Chains A and B, each alone.
Chain A
Amino acid sequence: MMIPVLAYFAVFCYAPMAGIIMAFQKYKPSTGLLHSKWVGLKNFTTFFNSYYFVRLLRNTITLSLKDIAFSFPAAIIFALMLNEVRSKFFKKTVQTISYLPYFISLVVVCGLVADFTEAGGVISNLFAKLGGPSGGLLSNPKYFHGIFVASNIWQNLGYSSIVYISALSAIDPQLYEAARVDGATRWQQTIHITLPALMPTIIIMLILRVGNIMTVSYQKVILLYSPATYDTADVISTFVYRKGLIDNDYGYSTAVGLFNSICNLFLITFTNKLSKKYTETSLW
């Protein structure tokens, strides 16, 4: 019964791992993996010494950190606010509506983003009216990160709050009862009961997110960026995509990709270790 699954992972996950060898080669499709010229670490040193290295690393990390700084607390605050609502119907309605953007495809979301922030788009016009620059925001490198993060929040706010809402519903109501008897205000209850109860969930989610700092949603970046915004928008994985599939520089592109995967592996192992040590919650 395991054969189909193992076959799948062998072909689509482990066979490509063998291809990593080409990161150390001057790979040519005509000569293949076995006969391409061996160049050692040259692909890596070229990358580390190139003008792109600093820019890509900076963009990848700042884009991720900004996303964490805003999206992460947003979901928690949203869940906490929903928790305060007394009307069941209102709560249910807001929840259902907030999940909606999650089910819209990335292509359409990016299409909407482009529609609103290109020159003449609704948000661009609004910005111009408020004294911002006229012209399209999307083609302005200064605003790429903002657009990226804001649209991420728009799409994922509701969905990523589910985890917290479920954790909130698991809190024993007697705790609140007791706090009320002692005269605690709503705010004090939130600080002293709700937040501590949410902590384990928050920490697990944070580990997961921090472990993925080097993975930016490259599909989204590819859909949204343009040569005009490469300066702030280009991240490691989109560079891998362009070098590899558009410029056909296979060996070099694989080397850059490998660098990214290794950073990722290291980060997730590290955050997992940290959390095991300090919180007793870990992924493995």
Chain B
Amino acid sequence: MKKFTYETVIHYIICLILAFLALLCILPIIHVFFSSISDPKLLTANKGLVLHPLGKATLDGYRLVFNNNTLVRGYINTIIYVISGTTIGMIETIFAAYVLSRKNVPGAGIMTFIISFTMLFGGGLIPTYLVVSNLGMLDTVWAIILPNCVSVFNIMIMRTSFKSIPDGLVEAAEMDGAGHFQVLFKVVLPVSKSILAVVTLFYVIQHWNSWFHTAIYVKNRNLFPLQILLREIVLKNSTQAFADGNDPEELNLMKLLVKYAVIMVSIVPMMMVYPFVQRYFVTGVMVGSIKE
């Protein structure tokens, strides 16, 4: 028998507050989900949260999204950018972290300074824009992938993690005549799975969610990633992305459905992935907060 004390009451109140907060976190998503399968006419008239499908549930919104060339193209573009951007970022990050994690590297101090200083100070928006423009990258895929493809923070957390590998492991491999690449790929990387997972996840999120670079560097609609199209549909209420081939009256009703459906389509991949990598990013955050 548990005694009913003051402290148990507090405990239950805390649990209630937490449950309420958790509810607040998902309510907007639930609202979007049920809106996306509601009858658009009822949806226009509705004023509160949508917590069940209004009218007969319909998949019209999703049908429109997946039959729309611009949106499908945007989705494919995003996937391409995520894969290539993450690959480039990971290669650069791993190399840099490996070099900086080794002892007795000539110039390591200066290189660390060169890299970290960019966290504190930069040229700013316009000078960066002009560099990208002078390189002839405007309106190309490179302007979307390359600027910001490496993050100083990611290099630093990976370096910290590599440093924690026992020296004996690396030295033994070097005694056996392994070169730097062999040490990196056969010794360091196999024991660093969790930091690799974390940093990969960080890059994937960054590229999946990125929109600003495209917005300033790219005008060619065929290169647009999903986020830019989302901005048009969700924030600018533009129907440019799916206007062709639909009559205007139907379009206005459909606009709402498409809006909610496209939000769902864009967030579902991330929502599926993150619970599984959750335990990794807890380690990632911790490694990052350890000071040198």
Contact = CB atoms under 8 A, between A and B. Distances in A.
Contacts of A2: 95-96, 99, 111
Contacts of A258: 124
**Which secondary structure dominates chain B's binding surface?**
helix
B123 A17 contact: yes
A166 B288 CA distance: 12
Contact of B278 (A99, A201, A250): A99
B123 A5 contact: no
A124 to B, nearest CB: 9
B120 A265 contact: yes
Given A12-B146, A107-B211, A201-B289, A245 B125 contact: yes
Contacts, number: 221
A82 interface: yes
A98 B21 CA distance: 8
B291 A103 contact: no
B235 A223 contact: yes
Contact of B131 (A1, A11, A94): A11
Given A115-B234, A122-B48, A261 B124 contact: yes
Given A103-B270, A105-B208, A163 B289 contact: yes
Interface in B26-49: 26, 28-29, 31-32, 47-49
A193 to B, nearest CB: 16
Nearest to A223: B235
Interface stretch (B7-15, B160-168, B169-177): B7-15
A24 to B, nearest CB: 13
A213 to B, nearest CB: 14
Given A12-B148, A219-B212, A114 B234 contact: yes
Interface of A: 1-2, 4-6, 8-9, 11-20, 22, 29, 78, 81-82, 84-87, 90, 93-94, 96-101, 103-108, 110-112, 114-116, 120, 122, 125, 154, 157-158, 162-163, 165-166, 185-186, 201, 204, 219, 222-223, 237, 240-241, 244-245, 250, 253-254, 257-258, 260-261, 264-265, 268-269, 281-284
Interface of B: 7, 10-11, 14-15, 17-19, 21-22, 24-26, 28-29, 31-32, 47-49, 91-93, 95-96, 98-99, 111, 114-116, 118, 120-131, 135, 146-150, 155, 180, 205, 208-209, 211-212, 216, 227, 230-231, 234-235, 259, 263, 266-267, 270-271, 274-275, 278, 281-282, 285-286, 289, 291
